[in-house]
């Protein structure tokens, strides 16, 4: 596990997003500082400069979309919908599949940027879980009553 993910405390940052009324600069910088792995590696490229300009302009939804593009290049926004006072966002790796076949990650919040970033954190948490092997590895335990024997006949 990388150092960036070890420092990441999903419940506290996730709770902060869920409990926030609106996006703030300190919250966005905490997400970038604690969760993002690619942005520091990209350095001062044009794409990170664009993200910095969006943050400076407090264009939070656009900044969240730019962050998703930089950090999760294999994921795309599948759906953004507003219903009964909440934004519902779904991120997917297979956007062209029918809804019932897709394993989209969904999040919701009254603020669009916070809904997008909540889905982003859920994808990051999923990536940490998926990094474990899908099949558990088991070491063979030697049986004291069974010993391997070579049975080749070379004669």
User: Rounded to whole angstroms, how far apart are CA atoms 34 and 3?
Assistant: 9
Q: What is the mean pLDDT of the chain?
A: 81
Determine whether 80 is exposed, middle or buried from the number of CB atoms within 10 Å of its CB (0-12, 13-18, 19+).
middle
Instruction: Give the bridge partners for 91, in sequence order.
Output: 77, 105
pTM: 0.72
pLDDT at 132 over 60: no
- pLDDT tens digits, one per residue of 76-114: 999 999 999 999 999 998 878 777 777 889 999 999 999
Q: Indicate the pLDDT class of residue 145, thresholds 50, 70 and 90.
A: low
Radius of gyration of the chain (CA): 22
Q: How many CB atoms lie within 10 A of CB 109?
A: 22
User: Rounded to whole angstroms, how far apart are CA atoms 153 and 137?
Assistant: 34
């Amino acid at each position: 596990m990388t150092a960036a993910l070890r420092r990441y405390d999903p419940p506290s940052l996730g709770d902060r997003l869920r409990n926030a009324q609106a996006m703030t600069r300190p919250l966005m910088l905490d997400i970038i500082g604690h969760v993002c792995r690619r942005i520091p590696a990209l350095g001062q490229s044009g794409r990170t400069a664009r993200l910095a300009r969006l943050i400076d302009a407090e264009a939070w939804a656009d900044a969240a979309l730019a962050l998703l593009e930089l950090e999760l290049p294999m994921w795309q926004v599948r759906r953004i919908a507003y219903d009964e006072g909440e934004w519902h966002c779904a991120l997917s790796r297979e956007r062209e599949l029918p809804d019932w076949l897709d394993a989209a990650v969904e999040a919701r919040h009254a603020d669009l940027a916070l809904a997008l970033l909540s889905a982003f954190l859920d994808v990051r948490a999923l990536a940490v879980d998926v990094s474990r092997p899908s099949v558990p590895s088991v070491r063979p335990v030697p049986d004291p009553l069974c010993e391997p024997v070579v049975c080749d006949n070379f004669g």
